[in-house]
Amino acid sequence: MSKPMTVVLGVIGSDCHSVGNTILNVFFTEQGFKVVNLGVMVSQEEYIAAAIETGAEAILVSSLYGHGEIDCAGLREKCIEQGLDDIILYVGGNLVVGKTDYSLVEEKFKKMGYNRVFSPEFPLEDMAELLRQDIRKRRQERENKD
Amino acid sequence: MKTKTDSQQLICVDIGSTYTKGALFALKDGKLELLDRQLSPTTVEHLPDGFYSVAKKLVPSQDWKRPDYDHDELPVFFSSSAKGGLKMAVVGLVPDMSLHIGRLAAFSAGAKVYFSYPYKLARKHIREIESADLDILLLCGGTDGGNEFYVQANAEKLAASSFSGTIIYAGNSTVDEEIEEILEDKKLVITENVMPEFGELNIEPVRTAIREIFLEQIVAGRGLKELVNKFDSRPLPTPLAVYNLAKAIGENVPGWDSFGMLDIGGATTDFYSFCESFDPDSSDSMLKGVAEPKLKRTVEGDLGMRVTAVSSFEIGREELVNSETLSEDEALAMHEYTEKVAADTSYLPDLPEEKAFDFHLGGICARHAVTRHAGTMKQAYTANGRVWVQTGKDLRKINKIIGTGGYLASLGRENKALAVPQYEDKSDAISLVPTDYLYYADTQYILPLVGNLAEKYPKQSAKLAIELLNQIKIKD
Ligand code: B12
């Protein structure tokens, strides 16, 4: 049996929309991931502390309440500072404020260092599959490095 | 008065760094009673000498040197903090997570933590560990199945070091075998992870391990084996006796389900809290990080009345001056005073001015030990109103504080209480310290001795401890 895929999950900033978080927790657990769920109102430091201690391979950030851009900036840099250089960062939720074009939003968050950016409509099964692929790829790259 | 045939008598002895103290108790009709107490100087070269000297004062009729001592007739309980107590270092991973829990485990086993290191050990840390004469090093980090890099890297560094104490490994259990191999040349005890799941606390196995190492290795090194064999009695580190007593009080005495205990010593300040750490039913607050234990002990190595008087004063100086408790001139005089007492650690003040300095020093130790022990709370605004985000332990339910240790005992004998000083705080986080409580002084400084009985007689010892305290009114 291969090592379980550990992911850290939480809603960033002062955001307390908890429904989506609960759904994602149940969903990823059912999909066979080991989920470390930090719940709502999660600071960048909390994600990182959890990712280090649990040896997580990805951090899944949610932002629903419209302040995602401010809350999410700088997480990649903090990860690098703490030795989590190649951790996979996903972000999803209501990242668009108003009627902004989604591709612009995606570009913005990718610039911030997020590997993938999801709209609320993106099918969860497809997303889980992408996550598995990304984690396998990361493991491969790490092995090649050694 | 000492010989009541219808009751069982018990002897407790605490071997401290300067004095060996003893007490004779009677257990009668399920009730404990204090009959007598005595003290003698601690005999550092051979600790049993001081022990016997106290024992003889307590029960002169007993032949203490006889080889076939009858421990059913007069059971002996003892504790020791001689030769620096139980000295530990903790190596963890993230400061607020595994390192924090590792420190809590060490404190709650009665240890003093000399060093705490997060992440990867540097060469200078190894040098500090090597030169400190530590009894135990606790290595932890990573949840089970989680991070395995740091603990192994740190184990490699320790393996290559000259550290000769015992290493307890209580990190990610996935790599237990790897750690065992890396540290095969060291004294090693492997136990359950202090944080098996993220944020989950599991400190009992480490406490048990520390307890056993103390008995099997440290006690022998301190020259106490002789007493263990003769009295068939397992000694405790003194703070563990106090810890056990705090637990017994909180669990058994009505009205004492939320209390604190402050022990200000010459070199360190200990604080114990017994209360729920977070109210899970609260609808407007949420807890972040580790859920702390109901009984928590912390030790501050830079707060104390003598050895650490200078550093204590530095920590509290600004608050004393800003609050106009001290003028600038008085602050200068107090600074000189702290230098004097740090150089002459058995100094006892007699001038009123010097007594006032000691009182302020005690206030600093109390305030900072309690504040560091306590958690904080920050406000966040959401659509459904205000939400409080709590980290650490909420001590606001504490409604009684016991003052113990040499200084607070003598202050208590002058019928003076030491309230934890409060100053205006400008930060946006609220410190969750106790604010409304009754004060009780351990004027006889008897709690460590009563604490020796807390494991065997929890109800009786707790009741006796409370009876022996003196409630003192806090003056505003
Ligand atoms: C219920 C609700 C609330 C409740 C929340 C109760 C609770 N405990 O959760 C309350 C009343 C408290 C609330 C408050 C607010 N809300 Co509101 N709220 C909603 C509402 C109606 C439903 C949210 C919900 O539960 N959806 C169902 C779940 C399952 O979906 P989801 O959260 O989107 O999550 C899914 C996906 O997004 C995705 N996903 C989420 N995260 C991630 C992460 C990754 C990596 C991936 C891959 C996928 C993913 O998967 C999830 C599961 O399927 C939405 C409107 C809407 N219909 O979405 C507004 C909405 C989210 N709220 C909004 C706002 C503005 C607020 C407030 C700021 C209002 C105010 N002015 O005070 C406050 C903010 C409070 C705070 N500090 O967080 C706006 C956000 C606007 C924006 N982002 O541009 C919305 C969109 C309404 C709107 N159209 O204006 N809200």
Residue B12: strand, helix, or coil = strand
Cα separation, B29 vs B17, in Å, equals 35
Inter-chain touch B384–A16, beta carbons under 8 Å: yes
Quick one: what percent of chain B has pLDDT higher than 70? 98
A:B CB pairs within 8 Å: 57
Per-domain boundaries in chain B: 8-83, 86-217, 239-472
Do B193 and B200 form a contact (C-beta atoms < 8 A)?
no
pLDDT at B384: 65
CATH class, B86-217 region: alpha beta
Residue A63 included in any domain: yes
pLDDT at A1 over 70: no
With CA atoms as reference, the chain B residue closest to A42 would be B288
Is-contact B203 B105, C-beta < 8 A? yes
Q: Report chain A residues whose CB lies below 8 A from the CB of B288.
A: 41, 43, 46
- Which pLDDT band holds residue B217 (cuts at 50, 70, 90)? confident
B249 and B465 Cβ atoms separated by less than 8 Å? yes
Q: Is residue A1 one of the residues assigned to a domain?
A: no
- Average predicted confidence (pLDDT) for chain A: 93
B378 to B284, B348, B389, B424, B435: CA distances (angstroms): 12, 42, 5, 16, 18
Q: How far is A133 from chain B (nearest CA, A)?
A: 20
Q: Which domain holds residue A73?
A: 6-145
pLDDT at A139 over 50: yes
Q: What is the pLDDT of residue B272?
A: 98
Q: Which residues of B touch A14 (CB under 8 A)?
A: 380-382
> Does ligand 1 lie within 6 Å of residue A92's CB atom?
yes
CATH code for position A70: 3.40.50.280
Distance A62 CA to ligand 1 centre (A): 10
| pLDDT band at residue B109 using 50, 70 and 90 as cut-offs | very high
Q: How many domains does chain A have?
A: 1
Instruction: Indicate whether residue A119 lines ligand 1 (CB < 6 A).
Output: no
Nearest CA in chain B to A8: B198
**Per-residue pLDDT tens digits for B339-376:** 999 999 999 998 999 999 999 999 999 999 999 999 99
Instruction: Write the pLDDT tens digit of every residue in B336-346.
Output: 999 999 999 99
> Is residue A106, in this structure, part of any structural domain at all?
yes
B198 touching A (Cβ < 8 Å): yes
CB-ligand 1 contact for A63 (6 Å cutoff): no
Name the DSSP class of A136.
H
pLDDT on residue B6: 63
Task: Please give the CATH number for the structural domain made up of B8-83.
Answer: 3.30.420.40
Same fold across B8-83 and B86-217 = no
Yes or no, beta carbons of A16 and B147 under 8 Å apart: no
pLDDT for A96: 76
Half-sphere exposure in the Cβ direction for B65 (13 Å, CA): 2
Q: Scan residues 78-137 of A and list those with Cβ closer than 8 Å to B.
A: none
Six-digit token string for B255: 């009205």
Residues 6+ positions from B27 with CB-CB distance below 8 Å = B7, B8, B9, B10, B33, B457, B460
Residue B262: band (very low, low, confident or very high) from pLDDT cuts 50, 70, 90 = very high
R_g of chain A, CA atoms, integer Å: 14
Torsions phi, psi of B139, nearest 5?
Answer: -110, 120
In chain A, what residues touch B96 (CB-CB under 8 Å)? 49
Two tokens, residue B190: 């492997």
CA B315 to centroid of chain Cα atoms:
21
Q: pLDDT band at residue B1, thresholds of 50, 70 and 90?
A: very low
pLDDT at residue A129, as a whole number = 97
B65-105 pLDDT tens trace: 888 888 889 999 999 998 878 999 999 999 999 999 999 99
- B contacts of A4 (beta carbons < 8 Å): 145
In a domain, A27, yes or no: yes
pTM value surpassing 0.80: yes
Atom of ligand 1 nearest to the CA of A23: 52
User: Across all residues in chain B, what is the average pLDDT?
Assistant: 94
Chain segment B304-321, per-residue pLDDT in tens = 999 999 999 999 999 999
DSSP code, position A31: T
Res A98 pLDDT > 90: no
Ligand 1, atom nearest to B380 Cα: 77
In this predicted structure, the answer to whether residue A56 has a pLDDT above a threshold of 80 is yes
Q: Are strands B8-15 and B19-28 parallel, antiparallel or unpaired?
A: antiparallel
